[in-house]
Structure formats: structure tokens, C-alpha cells
């Protein structure tokens, strides 16, 4: 859907993008990650033709024009219009050829603004403005959606609502580029991620593959009959990186081979007359991966 090769952009003498290459496939929810100022917004502004590139190649779609829906970080909505009027205006801007009224109602429903549809946007909360911005981005049924930090500066409730909308759009098969600092949101909705550092992608791929690649699996173990001696033995195991959480009396083992690690842990417990109260295998969090990749 989107192919970017060797993209360069300078602001004065400062190089923001230094040979960025990235691929976004159709149907992807692509988590676009990176520290503040690493060039995510610049990249999205270049894709959406808001600012010019210096060098590089951008191919969107298969040669045919592709409709793009864009939600800037702080969308500026015409406050004198109601949601309905604004969406009707945007539908006209994208030359929507279907039943505009029906589409507007559908979008209002998707973004959860049906009740506030006839209120002027001037009085909207930040979350409502953000949702209206999302509505404007999706009304023309674009093939590609670009959301620049849609959950930043929202309260937890507003954030949850926005992520819910993204999940709904994902279910509809939309291709979405999602830039955000809230990694748990990315873990929840994205299937592929790209981590940007120093103006280029340091890592790109399927979320699960990257989680596995950088942090492997994680085993959470709670022990029945734990003694101080056994605790020391578990923390000293040489086949995994062990941590102990006093708050919930749980061990956390980082490993590349969860099966082998679990087998050896159970054997160690048995040898010490103890047993596993609970043993859960999962993958490491994206936050850990992010820190490793960007070197934080």
C-alpha cells in the first residue's frame, strides 16, 4: 500500500529524515513509533503532501490515485459548524458520490458523536474534537488512514474511545498508520510496527516477531511453598533472566525458549519440594523492545 525508499528531509541544516525506508501493506494497522522529534510527523506530513520531501521515493497504491484520510495531531475543526455540517462539508470536499446524509450518520455512529451531531464543534471537548477529526478522515472511505498521535493529550476515557474507533476501523479492513507514544495502544491494535530512530527505521516488522526477536518470551511464575533458599536458587538460574516482584510474589523469567525454560523451572521446583501455583508464558512488552531499539 505504501512504499517509501530513502526519504530525506532537512529543516535548515538539521536532517530530520536520513534515508527512511518503510513498507505498509494493505490491511495493516502500522504502529509508527519513535521518540519526540525523530521525524514521525514529518514523514506523515510528507506522505500527505503537506510538506515537500527533499529526496526519496514514495509510492502509494499500485499506481492508481489512493484516497488518504489524515488526522493531524491537533486537528483544527471549524468551531462554528456542527459535527454533521462539518462532515457534510468534508464529504463534499472528497467528492463523496454516495448518499452523503446516510454516510454522515454512519460516520457519526462510528466515532460516537450521534448525540452531539447538531451541537457546534466550538463547545466540544478535546476528545470529541479528536473523534470528529477521525470522522473527517474516514468519511470519504479512504484506502489509507494516517493518524498522528490521536490519543495524545486525551484523558484515559477519551483515549479508550479513540482506540476503540481504531479497532472498529481495523475490523472494517482499513489500512492505518498510527503514530503514538502510548505503546500499550499500539500493542492493542497494531499488527505491524516500525521503530524510528535517527531519521530512519531501526526496526520494522510484525509486532509479535519483533517482540520475540528483542525480548523473547516471558514466564510469570508463582510458587507454592517458596522458601528463602529456593527464592535465591530461582533468581540465580543460568538459563533465564530472573526478576522477583515482591508486590505479587511472582517471578518473571525472560527467555528465548519458553518451553525448555518452563520444563527446567518445574524440575527445579520439584527438586526443592515446591510446586508452581501458576505459570504463564507470554511475550515481553513493547515498552522493553522500544527501549532496546532506541537505546533508552
Partner 1 sequence: MQIKAGFKKEWLQFTRTFRLGGILLGIISFAFADPLMYWGMGLLMQAISDSYGMIGSTSTDIDSALGMLFGSASTTYSVTMAELCSTSLLIAMLVLMSPCGGEQKKRATIIPSCTGLEFFNYLVPKYVLYPGVIFVTSFVSCCISGGLCNLLFDSDRIGMGMILLGAVMCAVYMAFYTVVYMSIGLCTSRPGIVTVSMYLGVSLVQIILTSLDLTDFHPLTLRTLVCGGMFSENFVLADNAASILVGIALSVVIGVMMFILTLTVLKGKKINNQEDKPEF
Binding footprint of partner 1 on the chain (CB under 8 A): 5-6, 46-53, 55-60, 67-72, 75-78, 80-81, 85, 88-90, 92-95, 120, 133, 136-137, 139-140, 142
Question: How far is residue 146's CA from residue 169's CA, in Å, rounded to a whole number?
Answer: 12
Please tell me the distance from the alpha carbon of residue 4 to that of residue 223, in angstroms, as a whole number.
Answer: 50
- As a whole number of angstroms, the distance between CA 205 and CA 202 comes to 11
How far apart are CB 88 and partner 1 at their closest, in Å? 7
Cα(250)–Cα(224) distance, integer angstroms: 11
Strand order in the sheet with 55-60: 14-24, 2-11, 55-60
Of 85 and 288, nearer to partner 1 (C-beta) is 85
Nearer to partner 1, 30 or 70 (CB): 70
Shortest Å distance, C-beta 260 to partner 1: 47
Q: Which of 148, 203 has the CB closer to partner 1? A: 148
> Shortest approach of partner 1 to residue 147 CB, angstroms?
12
CB-nearer residue toward partner 1: 148 or 217: 148
Query: Phi and psi of 48, rounded to 5°?
Result: -90, 10
The distance of closest approach from Cβ of residue 71 to partner 1 in the complex, given in angstroms and rounded to an integer, is 8
**Nearest approach, Cβ of 200 to partner 1 (angstroms)?**
15
Q: Closest CB to partner 1 among 85 and 187?
A: 85
How would you classify the pairing of strands 175-179 and 192-197? Answer: unpaired
**CB contact at 8 A, 60 and 2:** yes
Angle at alpha carbon of residue 25, lines to 24 and 30, rounded to 5°:
50
Residue 134 CB, nearest distance to partner 1 (Å)? 10
Nearer to partner 1, 56 or 205 (CB): 56
The residue among 235, 133, 150, 137 whose CA lies nearest residue 190 is 150
Amino acid at each position: 500500500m505504501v512504499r517509501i525508499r530513502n526519504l530525506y528531509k532537512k529543516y535548515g541544516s538539521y536532517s530530520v529524515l536520513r534515508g527512511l525506508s518503510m513498507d505498509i501493506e494493505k490491511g495493516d494497522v502500522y504502529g509508527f513509533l519513535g521518540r519526540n522529534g525523530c521525524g514521525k510527523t514529518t514523514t506523515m506530513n510528507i506522505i500527505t503532501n503537506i510538506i515537500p520531501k527533499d529526496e526519496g521515493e514514495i509510492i502509494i497504491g499500485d499506481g492508481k490515485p489512493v484516497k488518504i484520510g489524515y488526522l493531524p495531531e491537533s486537528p483544527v475543526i471549524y468551531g462554528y459548524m456542527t459535527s454533521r455540517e462539518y462532515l457534510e462539508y468534508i464529504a463534499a470536499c472528497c467528492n463523496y458520490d454516495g448518499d452523503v446524509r446516510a454516510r454522515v450518520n454512519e460516520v457519526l455512529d462510528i466515532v460516537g458523536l450521534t448525540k452531539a451531531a447538531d451541537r457546534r464543534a466550538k463547545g466540544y471537548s478535546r476528545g470529541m474534537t479528536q473523534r470528529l477529526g477521525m470522522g473527517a478522515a474516514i468519511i470519504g472511505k479512504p484506502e489509507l488512514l494516517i493518524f498522528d498521535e490521536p490519543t495524545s493529550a486525551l484523558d484515559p476515557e477519551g483515549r479508550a474511545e479513540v482506540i476503540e474507533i481504531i479497532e472498529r476501523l481495523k475490523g472494517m479492513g482499513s489500512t492505518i498508520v498510527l503514530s503514538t507514544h502510548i505503546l500499550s495502544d499500539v500493542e492493542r491494535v497494531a499488527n505491524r510496527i516500525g521503530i524510528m530512530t535517527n531519521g530512519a527505521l531501526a526496526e520494522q516488522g510484525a509486532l509479535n516477531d519483533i517482540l520475540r526477536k528483542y525480548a523473547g518470551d516471558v514466564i510469570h511464575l508463582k510458587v507454592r511453598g517458596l522458601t528463602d533458599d529456593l527464592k535465591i536458587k530461582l533468581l540465580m538460574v543460568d538459563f533465564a533472566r530472573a526478576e522477583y516482584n515482591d508486590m505479587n510474589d511472582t517471578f518473571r523469567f525472560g527467555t528465548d525458549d519458553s518451553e525448555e525454560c518452563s520444563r527446567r523451572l518445574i524440575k527445579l521446583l520439584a527438586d526443592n519440594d515446591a510446586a508452581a501455583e501458576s505459570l504463564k508464558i507470554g511475550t515481553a512488552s513493547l515498552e522493553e523492545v522500544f527501549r532496546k531499539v532506541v537505546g533508552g
